[in-house]
Chains A and B, each alone.
Chain A
């Protein structure tokens, strides 16, 4: 590893899929360093490979070649159990479609990562409460996801992603299913939480204007390649 400050370091990452006899290069030789505490937006059109790259950083997928370091840890050297532990403790993830479990209440949804991490029951309650307070949803703990608006559901998803106090938050099109005002509110929340908790945030989005308002840097992808990385000159909104 060359950059000791990097929360995420990608070295010549490729991810190829074989579809019949043809090979699809979803991610093609991408190198990238994300410093600790940065808010990075991954931009690109549909099929550009940005979500695949996010899944690789999340430890949900393994690269065909190259190395991924997260907090100095080489993910390629981790066993599947260690990788699961990495997802549990280091990574928080939110999705476009929220991915809350519909039959569980908000409280239970947020508690799920704590169950997986085998946190003791008494501690879980206070951690869930704290996580829901951060997204200002403590008054709806007993509700099920279907009873909430899209914005509220995404706030619950953020709360669930943060409950294990991760160092890296990965967001895959977090505003994709929300109207612009709600989307902006969600990003404002993400930015605030990053500042409060000192997390590194990597957000995949195709909404460049929104990314320009909140991200520190913008990385643009096309056809699996990283085209450019720009520092956000317009400056993040305060």
Chain B
């Protein structure tokens, strides 16, 4: 029979015993729903965890430092011995890194210890520049005030502890001005005709440090520590847009080291770069290619791997528990179709007498099982999604009572919808195997005699 006729006949047969087939389909739907709900919770929790972690920049970020970083003293000795020139982290390097495949952004770490003045009182703190991408990092969810209005705004976000130092009522700081005092690095060009002290005439004599001030408007107060990453300077308490911070040319720790080594020329260099990969899975290859460029690179890849392993096992367990209901539903399909064979025995005999081959009868039962699976799959995915929403809703009501932020506990990605439906159809077809082959093997003479 042609597929259209086969489907037509199968649908007609299903409609005939509508109550029984609807209940069987509902059984499949409940099975799929439990599977989808379980997996949606697994996926949701995984997304929740990896969102927080990846937004924290721990798993998709590679920290790049020059090979001669002061932390690797022993290595530096070897570098010197190998006579290989060390590459500085300057703007040129940043652009080069940005061109690597799977790189979303490369930003320098600008972080310096300095003094700020507020109400004519001096406060010592660490200032850090924040890239625009940290706006969506989740660290600023629930902050007081707002994120920087632009990449180059003269604005500051204070960490709550620092804000408490400035005022008893941190919220009152919003909109006020704070004065940032910093040391600007100004290169001293080499004196003309003096070739005795330096390797080339372009090389600077060093740099001078000039005290400068910049007024920043306090626009936000944050409770988390968004600039707490590792860099060795401690946590920054005053945050400003990265581009604003980089225009300051504030002297950083590496400047002193660079000037002593006189290797960087008259260029601004940075102590480290953060290279963000498009996904944690790309980190490993990216890290290797950065290392091959002659830099130190470091990521928390191993931690990310074990996290993924944990969630894979977690999803597997949820999937197994979710599948139990579907296994029961499978028995329901077998039962329904075996009953249908008994009821339609004579009809099968007539079909065979009219010229239906065994395979036609087999396909008919197969399609009936598949259709129940398909409807059950659609319905089940919807039920599963609804169940996930209900659990999320209930959890958020509870979290709200505990004065905590709401979370997205369940997630039904498109692949789960497709996989849920396909799985339901496949399981139903498997359940239809036995009844279909039994129907096909029915002796037409016996079947026609059956009353």
Contact = CB atoms under 8 A, between A and B. Distances in A.
Interface of A: 52, 55, 58, 60-61, 80-81, 84-85, 87-89, 91, 93, 95, 99, 101, 103-104, 112-113, 115-118, 160, 164
A99 B1 contact: no
Contacts of A101: 347, 350
A41 to B, nearest CB: 20
B445 A60 contact: yes
Interface string B242-267: 00000000000000000000000000
Main DSSP-derived SS at the B contact region: helix
A91 B9 CA distance: 23
A81 B354 contact: no
Main DSSP-derived SS at the A contact region: helix
A60 B346 contact: no
B356 interface: yes
B1 A55 contact: no
B358 A55 contact: no
Contacts of A104: 12
Interface string B337-381: 000000000110111111111111000000000000000000000
A88 B352 CA distance: 9
Interface in B409-451: 443-445, 448
Contacts of A58: 353
Given A87-B354, A89-B355, A99-B448, 19 more contacts: A52-B445, A60-B353, A60-B444, A61-B444, A81-B357, A84-B355, A84-B356, A85-B355, A87-B352, A88-B355, A91-B355, A99-B350, A101-B350, A113-B354, A117-B355, A118-B2, A118-B5, A160-B354, A164-B355
Nearest to A82: B357
B194 interface: no
Contacts of A61: 443-445
B16 interface: yes
A103 B357 contact: no
A79 to B, nearest CB: 10
Nearest to A157: B350
A55 B448 CA distance: 11
3 A-B pairs closest in CB distance: A88-B355, A84-B357, A87-B355
B355 A113 contact: yes
B56 to A, nearest CB: 62
A112 B357 CA distance: 13
B359 A81 contact: yes
A71 to B, nearest CB: 16
Contacts of B5: 115, 118
